[in-house]
Amino acid sequence: MPETAAVTFDYPGAAKVWPGCPDRFLQALRLYVEARLRPGAFVIACLENDLRAAVRVAAEESYEALPHVVNVIDYFVPPHACGSKEAVAQWLRKSRKEASHVR
Judge contact between 32 and 44, C-beta under 8 A. Answer: no
Tell me which residue of 90, 77, 85, 96 sits closest to 18, measured CA to CA.
Answer: 77
Model confidence over 68-85: pLDDT tens digits? 999 999 988 999 999 999
**54 pLDDT more than 70:** yes
**What is the pTM (predicted TM-score) of this model?**
0.79
Average pLDDT over residues 44-59: 96
**Of residues 36 and 16, which shows the higher confidence score?**
36
Question: Given this model, what pLDDT does residue 46 score?
Answer: 97
Tell me which residue of 35, 79, 6, 14 sits closest to 25, measured CA to CA.
Answer: 14
**12 pLDDT more than 60:** no
Task: Enter the DSSP assignment of 7.
Answer: T
Sorted by where each begins, the domain ranges of the chain are 14-102
